[in-house]
Amino acid sequence: MDFELLRKLKDWRIEAARREGVDLFRVFQNTTLEEIAASKPKTKDDLLAIKGIRERKFEKYGAQILALVGGNVEPEPEDGRGEKLYTVSRFLDLLNNNLRASGARIQGEVSSFDLRGSYLFFSLKDKEDESVLSCFMWSKDYALYGIELEAGMEIIIDGFPAVYKPTGKLSMQVSAIELVGEGALKKAYEELRKKLEEEGLFAPERKKAVPALPGKIGLITSETGAVIHDFLNNLGKYGYQIKFINSRVEGQVAVSGLMSAVDYFNKQDIDVLVIIRGGGSLESLQAFNNEMLVRKIAGCRMPVICGIGHDKDVPLASLVADLGVSTPTAVAIYLNRTWDDAVKRLAVLERDIFYKYQELLQVEKYRLEEMAGSLRKYFGMIFQEFDGIRHRLRSALADIGYNIKSLAKMLDDSFGLVFEKFARNFQDQGNFLDETEKRLKIYDPTRQLKLGYCIASAGGRVIKSVRQVKNGDSIDIQVSDGKMRSIINEINKIN
């Protein structure tokens, strides 16, 4: 995300909301501005693809936003003579857009002051010729800088001129204010330092420890100048993952960007947040003595290291940080500290491992030599025992040969006995089968039928008694060569 562009967009929104007399979110919500700063749309289609911007919003603000981003703006309509033709509103929008490029730092004396809810109106007068400049500032921005304006107070403002569309009057849109003079700055510094100290914000017990071997670093500073290079060049090659946000670091005007960057990193997965800038006077370091920024640093969930150069008075941001050092190089050296210690410790461990290995190797050498001697002794005993076993085996084999011959003779004798007994049993079984066959023939029903007998049945059941039938029943009679059916006419019982 381009935080400088986001700052410009927020300043533009403030001016647009003031002109229209509406709340900031009525112009655009923060999420919409953040998406614009992240995607940097170049065309109308790019802008309409962002959530929160539709045709109506584009017609009203599209050209101004694209101009801020540096995108392509559609050409203005022309009259019949080929000249550009503007509406009053459109012309004032273009004028204000061009006036934004005329931003300036202006020093003067406060001649009037009027705080109305969310607005602050005041006039800045030139002490030389009594020239007066009307100024407008949002009350939330006014509160950001912690300065209570009074008539006759000399201040410096940062801002840009703008025409208020409902009245057509020109005024200075103020984004930052700061005191003039070392004495005033020193007094404000001491008062705020005492206030924060009484609250315990500088107490050692509330400070968080910087983790050993930090890997993920959030970095806030300006991308221009030698500071960032001094820091990066002094960081060891330990695989640091650095997330960087470019921010202004000079004067009160830097407060807004610094606070946005701190808010961003407070939501990121980092081990430590680093805020650095080079040395400077009390006046140039005003942003780092801002109460709201100091409190935001104090509220960070991760440790914060401030490396801010200074003459005499330590910036309040450094006092409230978990670690404050005087130079960016000192920050890099501190971050390297545990890594450097780890490297040194690894070298010691490497040496200790080598010596320990040599010692163990020597011990194992002696142990192997002892084992080799023992093995030679044991193998001698084994070979001797093997010879004894070989002699006993030869003797056993000779005995086995004799026993095999004896068993062969026993098998021959046994085979004759078994064969004789088998033949005798076979003959007995044959005789038994012949006898059984004779008996079966005697009791064969077919033989009985041939002898004149018959088998009477009724309903498929053999008739064994006269009680099974009655006169008039039909019965089947089987003889040797067929069957007959008969009707019972008379039944005579035998006792």
The rounded distance, in Å, linking the Cα atoms of 331 and 441 is: 125
| Cβ count within 10 A of residue 27 | 21
Query: Distance between alpha carbon 230 and the CA centroid of its chain, in Å?
Result: 32
Whole-structure pTM value: 0.54
Chosen CATH of 186-337 out of 3.40.50.261, 2.30.30.30, 3.90.1150.10, 3.40.50.300: 3.40.50.261
C-beta separation of 308 from 286 below 8 A: no
Looking at CATH, the fold of the domain delimited by 103-180 is given as OB fold (Dihydrolipoamide Acetyltransferase, E2P) (2.40.50)
Backbone angles phi, psi at 281, to 5 degrees: -80, 170
DSSP β-ladder status, 272-277 and 216-221: parallel
Q: Which tokens go with 133?
A: 């400049």
Closest by Cα among 147, 135, 146 to 175? 135
If 0-12 CB within 10 Å is exposed, 13-18 middle and 19+ buried, where does residue 380 land? exposed
Closest by Cα among 38, 98, 110 to 64? 98
3-state secondary structure of 403: helix
End-to-end CA distance of the chain: 129
Contacts of 356 by beta carbon, 8 Å cutoff, 6+ apart: none
Question: Bridge-partner residues for 71, per DSSP?
Answer: none
pLDDT, residue 80, reads: 54
pLDDT, residue 151, reads: 85
The rounded distance, in Å, linking the Cα atoms of 69 and 388 is: 103
Backbone angles phi, psi at 460, to 5 degrees: 80, 5
Residue ranges of the chain with per-residue pLDDT less than 70:
18-19, 21, 71-82, 310-311, 495
DSSP β-ladder status, 323-325 and 304-308: parallel
Give, for 274, the enclosing helix (H) or strand (E).
strand 272-277
pLDDT, residue 72, reads: 47
Q: Which tokens go with 27?
A: 């112009």
C-beta separation of 274 from 261 below 8 A: no
3-state secondary structure of 204: helix
Half-sphere exposure of 117 (CA within 13 A, CB side): 4
The rounded distance, in Å, linking the Cα atoms of 15 and 174 is: 9
Dihedral angle of Cα 17, 267, 301, 263, to the nearest 10 degrees: -30
Residue 447's identity, in one-letter code, is R
Backbone angles phi, psi at 485, to 5 degrees: -115, 140
Closest by Cα among 148, 122, 144 to 135? 122
3-state helix, strand, coil split of the chain in percent (to 5) is 50, 20, 30
| Cβ count within 10 A of residue 244 | 15
Class of domain 1-102: mainly alpha
Contacts of 374 by beta carbon, 8 Å cutoff, 6+ apart: none
The rounded distance, in Å, linking the Cα atoms of 11 and 384 is: 103
| Cβ count within 10 A of residue 475 | 16
The rounded distance, in Å, linking the Cα atoms of 234 and 336 is: 9
pLDDT tens sequence across 197-245? 999 999 999 999 999 999 999 999 998 878 999 999 999 888 999 999 9
The rounded distance, in Å, linking the Cα atoms of 207 and 205 is: 6
Give, for 48, the enclosing helix (H) or strand (E).
helix 44-48
Domain residue ranges of the chain, discontinuous segments joined by +: 1-102, 103-180, 186-337, 447-487
